[in-house]
Amino acid sequence: MRNVRIRPLLAATLAMTALVAAACGSGSTPASDGTGDGGGDREGPLVVNILGAPTTLDPAAACGVNDMHLADNLYARLVDYATLPGPAEGTTTFDPSSFEPSLAKSWEISDDGLVYTFTLPDGLTFPSGEPLDAAAVKYSLDRTQAMGLCGNRYLNDQFVDPPLISSIEAVEPTVLRITLRQPNQNFLQALAQPAAAVVDPQVIEANGGIVEGAANEYFANHSAGATGPFVLEEYEPGRSATLVANPDFYGDPPASERIEVNFITDTSTMLLQARNGTADVTVGISKAAARSLEEDPCCTVVPFSSALALDIALNWEFEPFANPLVREALTYAFPYEDMLASVGHGYGEPFYGPLAPDMPGFNPDLSEQRPYDPDRARQLLEDSGVTLPLQFELSIPAGQEELAEFATAVQSVLAEIDVAVTIREIPPAERAAILDSGAYDAIVIAGGPAMVDAGYFLAYDMSCESPANITGICVPEADENWALARQTLDETERQGHWDAVMQAWVAASPKLKFWSIPAMVVIDESMTSVHYAIHPNFYSWK
């Protein structure tokens, strides 16, 4: 990788390994040290190309990460992620285990972990002139819950029946109190999600209001009142958005006055525009394209840490995969390092366990990848009693070259242990229905949770009782400790529960895990400051 000399961020910023507050400019948090300088010397807009497009701009309805591409830029939340130094000069990244004030000035948590009391600044208003106060925050959070869409799951950390949140009170204009039904170690992260965005009640009520259990279609393509560092000037669904600095933002101005965001689906277009300088920042470029840019003087390729991983989910309803010896056998069949170097293009870290290496709670001592041992794999298959050759269908999303290449490698490797794999490409429009119905034998999944928390993630990836557990994984000992970890506020005690989850999960060999997947970002040589977060936040970009 070429070492581009990007001007360093302020020394105070680089020294903060667990702090963001205003100084780092990581999000909608106001900057207090000049980080948000209103655009610096840049002429023209900052151009961002990003993989995928939102299906909605409404933070209460947003589901996948694509729906959250703009939310943190348009809306304030009570808290924001803390910031860590990034992997390249001039970069920072988010810390999913630590949080700092954003709209809220401060907060207190009761000793029993049930009551969160937030103090807000006095005298803030929306662009409409209405007060941006505790009542407006309550309205916004109540709205997310009343609509009952994906945002409700984020806000309640997957606890929706009954909801985690017991009550929300605007005690005073500057004091908001939230009471939970049970302790939850991840609640601050829930409040850092787009689902907890503060919207303008007047704008909402003027455009359809709140309908329980339903989306407001108007806000799929319109902003619900500017509370973040940017306002939405133009929006062409599925294609592009233009953001401009919010003159009414409660903090310092963002570092760039104008940002043009292009939603790209074609990987060759992303590569071309990163190489020729059309895009200042490219988010989500393919691994093969990133590798081709490593020595190009145009830009710097930065693989940011993420909680994403490459898996093959084994459907336990498919009879052979209900057999633990079959599942264990497959884990010994792969030359993981060789496959990572070839089909993974060298980006990632092999591991075996329920949590990716960058997920809080991950323990490397309990998550070592299984060794490549085809003889052991064959023996385990023989011991399992299944009829050989074992045959199954491996589903992959249609049109994704890297996953198709990976699936072909899997097919070739497993043939060596008398396992015959047929590859099935699933059209994007059918994928969700196939996953929900369980109409597959095994499926390649490259991704991870939209909220970086082990409890949230395993609620749908492992929990025995979860209707969202698409593979039918059920490891009772892991389930028991997962439930305890979610309510345990003491970090050391909580880690003990996560360790127990990992040990029980690994012993059951419930699915195939290959390697972690970094978030690939290409940064033009003209850029001096880029912050990576799971939900893109352009506040400090310049």
5-14: long-range contacts at Cβ-Cβ below 8 A with a sequence spacing of 24 or more? Answer: 5/89, 6/88, 6/89, 6/90, 6/91, 6/300, 6/523, 6/527, 6/528, 6/529, 7/90, 7/528, 7/529, 8/89, 8/90, 9/35, 9/90, 9/92, 9/529, 10/34, 10/35, 13/83, 13/92, 14/85
Single pTM value for the model: 0.89
For residues 327 and 332, what is the distance between their CA atoms, to the nearest angstrom? 9
Q: What is the pLDDT of residue 406?
A: 98
Question: pLDDT digit of tens for each residue in the chain (542 aa)?
Answer: 333 323 222 222 222 222 222 222 333 344 333 344 444 455 789 999 999 999 999 999 999 889 999 999 999 999 999 999 999 999 999 999 999 999 999 999 999 999 999 999 999 999 999 999 999 999 999 999 999 999 999 999 999 999 999 999 999 999 999 999 999 999 999 999 999 999 999 999 999 999 999 999 999 999 999 899 999 999 999 999 999 999 999 999 999 999 999 999 988 999 999 999 999 999 999 999 999 999 999 999 999 999 999 999 999 999 999 999 999 999 999 999 999 999 999 999 999 999 999 999 999 999 999 999 999 999 999 999 999 999 999 999 998 899 999 999 999 999 999 999 999 999 988 888 888 888 999 999 999 998 999 999 999 899 998 887 878 899 999 999 999 999 999 999 999 999 999 999 999 999 999 999 999 999 999 999 999 999 999 999 99
CA dihedral 199, 101, 30, 201 (to 10 degrees): 10
Would you call 184 exposed, middle or buried from its count of C-beta atoms within 10 A (0-12, 13-18, 19+)? buried
pLDDT of res. 102: 97
Q: Among residues 540, 542, 48, 42, which one has the least CA distance to residue 278? A: 48
What is the C-alpha to C-alpha distance for residues 287 and 3, in angstroms, rounded to an integer?
Answer: 19
Q: Where are the domains of the chain?
A: 11-21+42-280+526-532, 305-518
Q: Compute the distance between CA of residue 299 and CA of residue 523 in angstroms, rounded to an integer.
A: 5
**Residue 139 phi/psi, 5° resolution?**
-55, -45
- pLDDT of res. 22: 26
**What's the pLDDT score for residue 525?**
96
The span from the CA of 74 to the CA of 232, in Å, is 7
Architecture of domain 305-518: Roll (3.10)
- 160 forms beta bridges with 163
CATH of domain 11-21+42-280+526-532: 3.40.190.10
